[in-house]
Amino acid sequence: MSFPTPLRLSGRENLPFISALLGTTGVFVLLIVSLLVANLMFVDGTHIKAALDSPEIIWAIKLSLVTCTITAVLSVVVAVPAGYLLARVPFRGRALVDALVDVPIVLPPIVVGLALLLLFNQTDIGRWLEGIVSTVLAWFNDIAPGIMRWLGMEGPGRRGLTFDIPGVILAQWAVASAFAIRTMRVAFEQTDDRRERVALVLGCTRRQAFQWVALPEVKQGIIAAGTLAWARALGEFGPILVFAGATRMKTEVLPTTVFLEMNVGNVEAAATVSLLMVAVAMTVLLSARALGARIGV
Amino acid sequence: MLELRSISIEAGGFVLEGLDLQVETGTWASIMGPTGSGKTTVLEAVCGLRQVTAGSIWIGGDVVTHALPRHRGIGLVPQDGALFAGMRVEAMLGLPLRARGVRRGTRRRQVREMADRLGIRGLLRRTADGLSGGERQRIALGRALIHEPRLLCLDEPLSAIDRDTGSSLRALLTDLRDTGSVTVLHVTHDELEVRALAHTIWRMEDGVLAKLDETDHATNAR
């Protein structure tokens, strides 16, 4: 059964209930608005113009957009099968895997960064993996130098993970994908697996039932997971600082810019970049919702 | 022919043991029983959606006790249809053929023939959203029959629709029964539905599955 019109709460008898809803929501919204106003008090037109004229900040905006988008895509690529596995497939050790997936969510971000640094800098397997990434990047540099130049990764020098742009993506992905997996798990759990069972009886393999029946039912979950991963990646700072560094015009994303500007006492620039982040985040989140509405999910 | 030979099924908190059932090829068998008696559990075991812990299941002379659901040659119409969300009716009807690697052109022709047979040609471009209960069940029936299964399993096919729509769907099922082209296992709690459709009636109660009756349809069919 579906209810096409929104449930309305009107009338005197509902007043206390509506007041409670508005009051609790209002406290949180007021906090967010206050934070934005506090930032705005330090920013005027000249600061915004100076920020947009700054090659370092433009670089940070570009790098943030590119890395967050790549991270969101990679997170969804992992989250869809992982969420399905955890939601639908019973296997020994599922509770353990489920708990491990949540580790990046509960750990302090800086601990994730430290663990990444130790893995890729101090262990043989980590160095071997970094070698593979370097080889792939060198190959990509040969076949698509234009893209690498646009990413600021062109040239003959050896590129890798640690203290480099791929490290920014890996640091973002390590945390963002945990949120995406959680979202996809819930999305699969909320759909009725009876339809997949029917598909199996009618001749589908598990892969076909997943691809043709289960996956179209979680379109909304995929958009939500991607959006959440993107937003989480945009705000990621701790792991990036430790694992990829805070080098201007190299591994500098928007949170790094805020950190660097605050370190030199330039509060106005830090506040301006913070507001830019809010603007970028709102634009992308609203666009994702509009896209979701347009494709009917 | 469908045959259950002393099968046992573990389902949640209860166990069904020593169940026997025989359905002759081309005939219609209905299992009646109150809600929670385990009749749908038996249907799921036949479809391969529940593990059988003892005994054997035979379909068309083959033992399928531990076969994957897709290898049993079954068409399933679940309660309320369980139509695939977001998928066009045309794709939904063709899905069993697509899973079997039938080419697109052949698939399209067979889907249209099935849609004409069930009176749902006008729905082929639509999705499940906004369809009536009767339309949903017709689509589910078409989806279950299109690959010419050896056995058709129906789980309360008329329970989620109104009386008028139920009459036209019942007429469709009656035609299907009278052709004798497919063996049918049907579970329901509705005795009128059973009397209207079944050749043989089985009753499931207190963990016991027993043959109750043969209807006039069985006599007429002979």
pLDDT digits (tens, 9 = 90+) for A122-157: 999 999 998 888 888 888 877 877 777 777 666 556
Provide the residue type at A85 as one letter: L
Segment A229-259, tens digit of pLDDT: 999 999 999 999 999 998 888 889 999 999 9
Is the CB of A187 inside 8 Å of chain B's CB atoms? Answer: no
Residue A161's pLDDT is 83
Residue A3 lies in a domain: no
How far apart (Å, rounded) are the C-alpha atoms in residues B85 and A195?
Answer: 9
Same domain, A147 and A204: yes
Instruction: Find out whether A71 and A229 touch, Cβ atoms under 8 Å.
Output: yes
For chain A, percent of residues with pLDDT exceeding 90 = 59
Number of domains in chain B: 1
Residue with tokens 């330090």: A42
Q: Which domain holds residue B129?
A: 2-221
CB contact B74 to A (< 8 Å): yes
Determine which helix (DSSP H) or strand (DSSP E) holds B212, and give its type and residue range. Answer: strand B208-214
Cβ contact, residue pair A217, B74, below 8 Å: no
Show residues of chain A in contact with B143, CB under 8 Å.
Answer: 202
Q: What CA–CA distance (Å, rounded) separates B114 from B121? A: 8
End-to-end Cα, chain A, rounded Å: 18
Asked if residue A177 and residue A35 are part of one domain, the reply reads: no
Residue B14 has pLDDT above 90, yes or no: no
B25: domain CATH number?
3.40.50.300
- Model pLDDT for residues B143-160, shown as the tens digit of each residue: 999 999 999 999 998 886
Does residue A63 share a domain with residue A37?
no
Per CB-CB distance under 8 Å, the chain B contacts of A198 are 76, 78, 82
- Weakest mean pLDDT among A149-153, A178-182, B6-10: A149-153
Residues A123 and A80 reside in one and the same domain:
yes
A67 compared with A287, residue with greater pLDDT: A67
- Regarding whether A109 and A30 lie in a shared domain, the answer is no
Q: Is the pLDDT at A84 greater than 60, yes or no? A: yes
State how far the alpha carbon of B152 is from the alpha carbons of A13, B6, B217, in Å: 54, 21, 18
From the centroid of its chain, how far is CA B213? 20
Question: Angle of helix A109-122 relative to helix A165-190, nearest 10 degrees?
Answer: 120
Higher pLDDT, B213 or A63: A63
Same domain, A33 and A111: no
- A22: containing domain: 10-41
Q: Which of A135-144, B74-83, B85-94 has the lowest mean pLDDT?
A: A135-144
Residues of B in contact with A212 (CB under 8 A): 84, 87, 95, 98
Instruction: Supply the pLDDT for residue B212.
Output: 87
Average pLDDT over residues A195-212: 96
The reported pLDDT for the residue numbered A293 is: 66
Residue A26 domain flag: yes
Task: Classify residue A2: in a domain, yes or no.
Answer: no
Q: Are residues A226 and A244 in the same domain?
A: yes
What confidence category does residue A297 fall into, taking pLDDT thresholds of 50, 70 and 90?
A: very low
Q: Are residues A206 and A163 in the same domain?
A: yes
Q: Return the CATH number at A243.
A: 1.10.3720.10
Number of structural domains chain A divides into: 2
> Which residues fall within 8 angstroms of residue B151, CB to CB, at 6 or more apart?
B2, B46, B59, B60, B72, B73, B74, B75, B182, B183, B184, B185
Across the interface, which of A194, A212, A216 has its CB nearest the CB of B78? A194
**A195 has pLDDT over 90:** yes
Least confident of A191-200, B66-75, B173-182: B173-182
- pLDDT of res. A15: 86
B84 touches chain A (CB under 8 A): yes
Q: What is the mean pLDDT of residues A10-35?
A: 90
Residue A162 counted as domain residue: yes
* A144-153, A202-211, B113-122: the lowest-pLDDT one: A144-153
Number of Cβ within 10 Å of residue B213's Cβ equals: 14
Write the residue in B70, B87, B98 that is nearest to A200 by C-beta. Answer: B70
Q: Are residues A14 and A52 in the same domain?
A: no
Which residue stretches of chain A are H helix?
15-40, 45-53, 55-88, 94-106, 109-122, 124-143, 145-150, 165-190, 194-201, 206-208, 215-217, 219-235, 238-243, 254-263, 267-294
CA-CA distance, A168 to A64, in Å (whole number)? 9
Whether A124 and A206 share a structural domain: yes
A200 and chain B: CB distance < 8 Å anywhere? yes
Indicate whether A165 and A128 sit together in one domain.
Answer: yes
- Summarize pLDDT for A163-179 with one digit per residue, the tens: 888 999 999 999 999 99
Tokens (6 digits) for A191? 């759909």
| Residues in chain B closer than 8 A to A193 (CB atoms) | none
Q: Is B184 in contact with B28 (CB distance < 8 Å)?
A: yes
What are the backbone dihedrals phi and psi of residue B136, each rounded to the nearest 5 degrees, phi first? -65, -40
The tokens of B61 are what?
A: 């002379």
Interface contact B160, partner A, CB < 8 A:
no
pLDDT at B145: 96
The percentage of residues in chain B with a pLDDT greater than 70, rounded to a whole number, is 97
Average pLDDT over residues B205-211: 90
Average of pLDDT values for A224-232?
93
CA dihedral A140, A142, A144, A146 (to 10 degrees): 120
| End-to-end Cα distance, chain B | 16
Supply φ then ψ for residue B7, to 5 degrees: -85, 150
* In a shared domain, residues A141 and A160: yes
